[in-house]
Structures are given as structure tokens and as C-alpha cells.
Amino acid sequence: MSASNYPESPAFRALRVELEDRARDAGLREGHDAGLREGHDAGLREGRVMALLAVLAAKNIAVDAASRERITRCDDADRLDAWIRRAAVASALADVLDDAH
């Protein structure tokens, strides 16, 4: 026999509903917080990509389609930061994206 076949007292029902509401609210808060973190991280990554491309453009360093795709698909913040630093002093795209540096 399942639990749904037993009658609930008004006090028990009120407690059950309260606990279900709290659990739902906690889950919503957790999901909201996770979404904010994910959005923040994505925004920082996009900012790094835009900064790198802006530095390369300011230095008149051409970016071919394959390299642009590599840059825009990169999700490693440390690598993007390293590329930005290299771009500041580079004279060619290979100087920026060559991982041997």
C-alpha cells in the first residue's frame, strides 16, 4: 500500500506542503545562482576574446578565419590572458598563438 492511500491530518499536510515549498525554493535559488555564475564566466571569456581581437586589430595584425575560430572557441581564461599579453608586443599572429612561448 502506498503512502498516498493513507489519510493526512491537516497538520501533517501543512508540514508536508511547507517542506515541499522550501525544497523547491532552495532548488530554484541554487539554479539561479549557478546560472549567474555561468553567465558571469561566459561574459568574462567573451570580454577576453574581444580584448584580444581588439589588440590585434589595433596593431594591424590580420586574423585569418581559422585563427579567429580558434580564438573565439577558446574557453581557457589563462590561455586567453597569455595571448592578450603576447598580442601587446607581437608583430605577427604566429607570435601570439604559438604555444611554444
**Which pTM value belongs to this model?**
0.68
3-class secondary-structure state, position 68 = helix
Residue 1 lies in a domain: no
* Contact residues for 8 (Cβ-Cβ < 8 A; gap 6+): 16
Residue 57 lies in a domain: yes
Residue 42 lies in a domain: yes
State how many domains the chain has: 1
Q: How confident is the model over 34-54, as pLDDT tens digits?
A: 888 888 888 999 999 999 999
What's the grid cell of residue 9? 491530518
Residue 74 lies in a domain: yes
Place of cell 568574462: 44
Residue 56 lies in a domain: yes
Q: In terms of residue numbers, what domain contains 13? A: 8-97
Residue 3 lies in a domain: no
Q: How confident is the model over 84-94, as pLDDT tens digits?
A: 999 999 999 99
Residue 86 lies in a domain: yes
pLDDT band at 30 (very low <50, low <70, confident <90, very high): confident
Residue 70 lies in a domain: yes
